[in-house]
Every structure is written in structure tokens, then in C-alpha cells.
Amino acid sequence: MDIQQQLAIKESRLGASEREAILSNYFATLNRQKKSFLGYQTNQQVEFSPVLLPFLSLNLLNLGDGFEEGSYRINAKQFERAVLEYYAQLCGFSGPHTQRRYWGYLTAMGSTEGNIYALWNARDFLCGHPVEGYADATVVRHPPVLICSVATHYSVYKASQLVGVNLFHDIGPALGECPINQGNWHQPLGVDERDAVNIDDLYALVEFFMTAGYPVILVLNHGATFSGGSDAIYEILNRLKPLLGRNTPQQRRYWIHVDGALAANFSPYLRSASEPFSVTDEPYEFRHPEVMSLCTSPYKWLGAPWACGVYLMQERYKVGSAARPVYIGSRDSTVSGSRQGVFALYLWERLTSLGKVGLQQLTRFNDTLADYTQSRIESLFHHLDPTGKHLIVMPRPQYSNIVRFTAPDAAVIRKFSLAQNDVMIHGKLQRMCHVVVLSHVTQEAIDALLDSLSHSRAFSLSAQPKNPLTDLSSIRSFYGELPDSHSSKEESFI
Ligand SMILES: *Cc1c(COP(=O)(O)O)cnc(C)c1O
């Protein structure tokens, strides 16, 4: 029977043994897939401690603001605050170096919700609404404009549509000639091969809109989705500071948001072995005092049975919703109304059971295996294609746990769940894929991937982008030259 028919919910009940058979079958399939799951930023090594099981018998909800107890008493807000405090210290929003107070919450979604919240709050702040720190509304001449690079996650674009914030492409043309991309407003704000935004172009765009009287919302990346690369946030904000000026109650000029979905979880542990919470002034440091909001997705790095996110911001800029429904007895200041309390318990349990020492070990483990993966794929590609023209391994950005290389055949992609992306390299769009090294990834899995990649049929035309910018003929001729010494292993990867 077709699987969808088997799963159909019908009038009569499905017997317990039938249900169990269907589910255990499916679980076995997933477990097989998990062994070679290399291509997405989610850690499949989920450690759900038995001490948490009793909580699954409750509908544990954090309703409304996590800093107010509210009337819904079956909640986990004290654990939420403990987890937030950890992330606030890790991400520079709290600690001995700062006087700033933070606000935030654990989201019901991943970083998508953090990005939505950030743009929502940025829009209202820059439109002159009263905020925590500045009680009075102020009149603003122009709506804000969103500036972010081509490496920015798609959820930021979605968030901009949801909350009605214009991108620089939308309002630029009416204001004058585009200061970057040879005057073309329809080109994206570019990045280098490590996905770091071009700082001169960013500066020119910000200058253009500030001169025209438009407040700007900057979304900067710490750990871009495909490369794990980051913008040089510390350097950028130091350079932009004179241009941005100062936000005051009457003058709302800018909003700085950092999307740290993956890297904010662990990069502090790579920076400083002895004190991950101490802020440096390196160019790629993301914990600059001008950062007004930040989001990160703990589930991606730490592993969790569900998506979950952290949103943090400087409290004095908070607009959010000041509504205080009598019904819940606390401020309704979150995007998601009811938030899963078990997320807070789960994160608290993981973080306290690992401690800083365990988190540091996790970081080192990922980093060492990513090094291994990068150098092994580099030497394989060098062997297969000594000219380096066709098989490319992209440089691994600092603090990235991701290795990017020329996309192989569809069968290899399927087997290892590899995500793909088209990347412009030497003026040509090339289809690349990536391996994301997280704690479920073993050296055996990497070696199995290498074995598949060394196969003569691993690189065929099907994985290449169907784009006229790509020179398909050169790939075809290269394929003809591939050594076929591994042809005896042909079945091994299909
Ligand atoms: C994954 C990701 C997001 C969105 O996270 P979700 O959990 O899918 O909501 C946002 N930004 C970046 C950079 C990401 O990698």
C-alpha cells in the first residue's frame, strides 16, 4: 500500500501494533539517514535527559514576558531567565564590561522569530514610537531602510515583508544614483569568498541613506548559513560609528541587529580558551557595544528535539507590545503568544550538565573535525583535478564549522543530505554544497563521504546549475578526463 494511504486517518481506529509498526519503521529509516546526515546546520545528537521526562506530562507554557511571573503558573520562566542570562553573558549583553541592561526571551521558533522581532522593534523605534528608555514618541521624517548583504538568511527578507520594512533596493532608485555596483540598484550588497560583507560598499550605502535623511537598519551576520562566515562586525561598527552618530530620544538614526543563528553559540569558545565571556576587539568580534539586538538558534549547535531560539536586545530600546492583557497578567511582549516551557528546561539541563568545560570541548571537537574534512577534501580534489579549475574547495572562514566544495552527483547529495547553493566564483556561478560539522558527525561519516567523492561518477553534469553564466562545456570535458580507478566500488554509494 502507498505510504500516504497507510497513514490516512480513517473512521475506524488503527490498532496499537499497527501504529507501532509504522512508527518504528519510520524511525529506522530516519536513523539510517542520520548516520550520513552532513549537510545541514542541525545537530542530530540529541541528548534528552530522563530527568526531563516527567515534564512532558504537563502543558508547561511561558505565556507573555518571561521577566514577569504572570497568572499562568504552570510555567518555566525561572529557567528561561537562567538560560537567557547565560546567552546574554556569552553574547556580550551582560557582564562586567557593560552597564547596559538587556531584555529577551526564548522564542517558539528558531532565529526566524528573532529576526522578525528585531525588524519589528527596529521599525517602531525608528518610526519614533516611545521605548523603555525614551518615554516620549517623536516625529520622524522618513521610514527606515534595511541594509544587509547577499549572504543574509532568507528569514530576514521574510521578516522585512511581514513587518513592512523596505530594502535598500526598493527605495534607493527614487533617491538618486546607486553608490555601489556601478550604479545598479538591483545588484545585491556583495560579500567576499568567506561571506563577509564588502565594508566599503556597506559604508557607501549607509552614507547614501543617512545623507538622504533615512534611518537605517543594519542586519549583520555572524555565521552565515551556507559558509559559516561572518561579517567583520567589530571593525564595521567602529568604522560606521562617526557616520551613524548617536541615537537620542528625538533622533532615531539606526538599528544594529546581529543574526548569530549558528556561530554565536560557540565562537566565543574558540576565541578565548580561558574566558569565553570576555569581549575582544578583533575585527570579527561580534560583541560590539553598538549591537542593539541579536538572535541565535541553540538547537542548531547544541542539538535539541525541536527548533528553538534566543532573542536578546538592549532593554532601553524595547518597543515591542506594551499591551498587558488582564487575561494573562503579564506583558504580551513576545511574537509567539504561548511559548513552550520545556524548551527552557531542556536548554538549562544541557547547559548545566556540560558546563563551560563541556561546551569548550564540544567546540574543539567540531573545529578539529572540520579541519580534517577541509584538508582531506582539498587533497582529494587536488588528486582528481590538479589544475583546480573544476573541483573547488572554498576557504573555510575563521570560526566556521562548515566545509564548502563543488557539488557532486545527485546520488551522493541524497545519501549525505547535502544542502546546495550557487556561488559566484571567478565570475562564474557554480553549484557548491557543504558539510556542516556538528557533534553527531563522526570521522567515519566523513571518510564515507570522501570515498563517495573519489568515485568516478561522483561529479557529473546533473549537479551543476542550469544557468547560462556557467560554462557547462568545460565541466563536460573534465568529466571525460576523470580517472576511473575506483569503478569497482561503483555500488557503494548508490
Ligand atoms: C538557520 C538560520 C536562521 C533561521 O533559523 P530557523 O531556526 O530556521 O528559524 C536565521 N539565520 C541564519 C543565519 C540561519 O542559519
b/e sequence 257-296, b meaning 16+ C-beta within 10 Å = bbbbbbbbbbbbbbbeeeebbebeeebbbbbbebbbbbbb
Question: What length does the chain have?
Answer: 494
- What pLDDT, on a 0 to 100 scale, did the predictor assign at position 330? 74
Instruction: Give the per-residue pLDDT at 459.
Output: 86
Give the separation between CA 27 and CA 222, rounded to whole angstroms.
34
The Å distance, Cα 115 to ligand 1 centre, comes to 9
Give residue 322's pLDDT.
63
What cell was used for 35?
Answer: 548516520
Distance between CA atoms of residues 310 and 111, nearest Å: 7
Q: Using a 6 Å cutoff on CB, does residue 121 contact ligand 1?
A: no
Instruction: Note the pLDDT of residue 337.
Output: 87
Type of residue found at 24: S
Query: Which atom of ligand 1 is the closest one to the Cα of 221?
Result: 13
The CB-based long-range contact list for 367-376 (8 Å cut-off, 24+ gap) reads 367/270, 367/401, 369/437, 369/441, 369/443, 369/446, 370/396, 370/400, 370/401, 370/402, 370/403, 370/437, 372/443, 372/446, 373/403, 373/435, 373/437, 373/446, 374/403, 376/446, 376/450
Q: Is 195 left (phi over 0), alpha (psi -120 to 50) or beta?
A: left
Q: What are the grid coordinates assigned to 411, written together? A: 546520488
Which pLDDT score is estimated for 206?
Answer: 98
Can you tell me the distance from the alpha carbon of 31 to that of 44, in angstroms, rounded to the nearest whole number?
10
Residue closest via CA to ligand 1's atom 6 equals 110
Using a 10 angstrom Cβ sphere, with 0-12 exposed, 13-18 middle and 19 or more buried, the burial of residue 113 is buried
**Which regions in the chain score pLDDT beneath 70?**
272-274, 320-325, 327-328, 461-494
39 lines ligand 1 (CB under 6 A): no
pLDDT at residue 273, rounded to an integer: 63
The pLDDT of residue 389: 87
Is the beta carbon of 295 within 6 A of some atom in ligand 1? no
Q: What is the number of other CB atoms lying within 10 angstroms of the CB of residue 96?
A: 8
User: Within 10 A of 105 (CB to CB), how many other CB atoms are there?
Assistant: 29
pTM, two decimals, is: 0.91
Joined grid coordinates for residue 136: 516620549
Ligand 1: residue whose CA is nearest its atom 7: 110
Mutate to test the pocket of ligand 1, among 149, 155, 301 (most ligand atoms within 8 A of CB): 155
CATH number for the domain running over 358-479:
3.90.1150
The pLDDT, as a whole number, for residue 124 is 95
User: What residue ranges of the chain are covered by domains with CATH 3.40.640.10?
Assistant: 57-352
Q: Report the C-alpha gap between 324 and 334 in whole angstroms.
A: 11
Report the DSSP beta bridge partners of residue 405: 393, 433
Q: How many Å lie between the centroid of ligand 1 and the Cα of residue 108?
A: 13
> What pLDDT sits at residue 470?
39
Q: Is 296 in the pocket of ligand 1 (CB under 6 A)?
A: no
Give every CB contact of residue 424 below 8 A, 6+ residues apart in sequence: 430
Write out the CATH class of domain 57-352. Answer: alpha beta
For ligand 1, atom 15, name the residue with the nearest CA.
225
pLDDT of residue 111: 96
- Give me ligand 1 centre to Cα 153, in Å: 7
Delimiting residues of CATH 3.90.1150 domain(s) in the chain: 358-479
Residue nearest to atom 3 of ligand 1 (CA): 111
φ/ψ of 297, rounded to 5, equals -120, 95
- Kindly state if the Cβ of 220 falls inside 6 Å of ligand 1: no
The pLDDT, as a whole number, for residue 69 is 86
Q: Are strands 309-314 and 293-296 parallel, antiparallel or unpaired?
A: antiparallel
Ligand 1 mean position to 80 CA, how many Å?
20
Q: Which three cell numbers stand for residue 21?
A: 509498526
